[in-house]
Amino acid sequence: MSAIVGQRDAGVLFRFKDRLPVTDATPMITLGEGSTPLVRSVRLEEAVGCEALYFKLESCNPSGSFKDRGMVVAVAKALERGDTAVLCASTGNTSASAAAYAARCHLRVYVIVPHGNIAEGKLAQAVAHGARIIAIDGGFDDALRLAREITQRHPIALVNSVNPHRIEGQKTASFEIVDDLGDAPDILCLPVGNAGNITAYWKGFVESYQREEATKKPLMWGFQAAGAAPIVAGEPVAEPRTLATAIRIGNPASWEGATNARDESGGDIRAVTDDEIVDAYRRLAQEEGIFCEPASAACVAGLLGRAKDGEDLAGKTIVCVITGNGLKDPERAMAEFAPELHAIAPEVSRVEAEMGL
Ligand code: AN7
C-alpha cells in the first residue's frame, strides 16, 4: 500500500473494499484513515496480569478519533447517491470527522451539539472545516432526535452511526487487529456511548471468524461512565453526567447492537466512575506515553478495575481501543495535570533551582 494519501490506493475504502459496500460507482475518497498502530503495553500489562495487553490507537486517525473509519464510508455513499449535504448529532468526535470529510468532498455539513458539553478541540475542528454548528440547550440524545427528524424532512444525509454505512466502515478496525495479531484477541475492551463502535467491532470479529481468518471471537467488554450508564442500568438515563463528555449519552441508538455483542460474545458491559477514568487517563499518559481523551481511558479504567477485583486474566491477550486523542480535550488535561506555572527570570541558576538541580 502506498504511503501517499489521496491516491486511490490508500485508506479504509481501498484496503477493505471487498468487505465494504463499495461498488464501481463509489468514490474512493480518503484522508488516510485506518491502518492504525497496535501498541503493546509496557507497564499496565503487569498490573492487569494478562499474557499481552495492546492499545489500538484509533486516536491516530486523521481527525484524531475512531469515527473516521465509518465516516469515510458514509460520506462516500452520500456522494455516490448524489447528496450535497450531511448532518450529524455529536458529542464532538463525529462532528469533527464529518466536517473533515465533508470539506474534502465539497459537501455542506451541519452538526448539532450539546451546548457547553463538547470538548474544545473537537469544536475547533468542526469550525475550522467550515461546519454549520447548531448548539442546543440539551444533551446528545436530544441532538440525535432532532438530527433524525430533520433528515427525514430535508434531502440531507444523516451520518450518525444509525446510518449502516458507518457501522460497516467501523468494523474494519477488527480486521486490522486480527491481521496484526494473527488471530482475534481473547478480550476486547472499549468505551460505550451511543454503542455504534461495540456493535461494529463485534460485526467485524464475527466476519473474520466466518472467513476463517480468526480461530475465535473475543469477549466484548464495554464500559460506560457511571453517571451515563443506561445499558448497565437497563433503562435510559434522563440526565447523563460524566466528565468524559464524548460518552455523555443516556439513550444509545445502538443499544440492541451493544447487548447482542455482549451476550453473543459472553462479554459484559460495566460502569466506571469518573475518578477511575481520570486515574486511567493519568496512567496511560504517564506510564504508557499514550495521551488519550477521558472517554477512551474508560475502557482501561474498566480493565484495571476488573483485574483489581480479582478477575484471573492469566494467559489472555487483551486489546483496549483508544478511541480519541488527548489533544481533543486540552482543558481536561490542564485541569488534571497542570501545576501552577509562574514565570521566572531567564537565568541558569533560577532554572536549575526550578528543576531541583
Ligand atoms: C472518544 O462523537 O458519540 O459507543 O457524537 O468520541 O460508538 O458512541 C462519540 C463517542 C468513545 C463512544 N470514545 O463510542 C460522537 C460520539 C470516544 C467517542 C465513544 C465516543 P460509541
**Tens of pLDDT, residues 178-194:** 999 999 999 999 999 99
**Mutate which of 55, 61, 63, 65 for ligand 1 pocket (most atoms within 8 A of beta carbon):** 65
pLDDT number for residue 341: 83
C-alpha cell at 351: 532554572
Q: Judge if the beta carbon of residue 90 lies within 6 A of ligand 1.
A: yes
Among 302, 322, 264, smallest CA distance to 56 is for: 322
Q: Judge if the beta carbon of residue 196 lies within 6 A of ligand 1.
A: yes
- For atom 1 of ligand 1, which residue has the closest CA? 324
- For atom 5 of ligand 1, which residue has the closest CA? 90
Angle between helices 120-128 and 330-337 (to 10 degrees): 160
Using 70 as the pLDDT threshold, list the residues of the chain that sit under it.
1-9
Q: Which atom of ligand 1 is the closest one to the Cα of 191?
A: 11
Q: What spacing in Å lies between the alpha carbon of 49 and ligand 1's midpoint? A: 28
The tens digit of pLDDT for each residue in 290-315 reads 999 999 999 999 999 999 999 999 99
pLDDT number for residue 340: 80
Among 148, 59, 135, 133, smallest CA distance to 102 is for: 133
Q: Which atom of ligand 1 is the closest one to the Cα of 197?
A: 7
- For atom 14 of ligand 1, which residue has the closest CA? 193
pLDDT number for residue 338: 85
pLDDT number for residue 8: 60
Beta bridge mates, 110: 87, 132
- The H or E element that residue 203 is part of is helix 196-210
Q: Judge if the beta carbon of residue 259 lies within 6 A of ligand 1.
A: no
Q: Judge if the beta carbon of residue 114 lies within 6 A of ligand 1.
A: no
- The H or E element that residue 105 is part of is none
Q: Judge if the beta carbon of residue 36 lies within 6 A of ligand 1.
A: no
CA–CA distance, 316 with 337 (Å, rounded to integer): 32
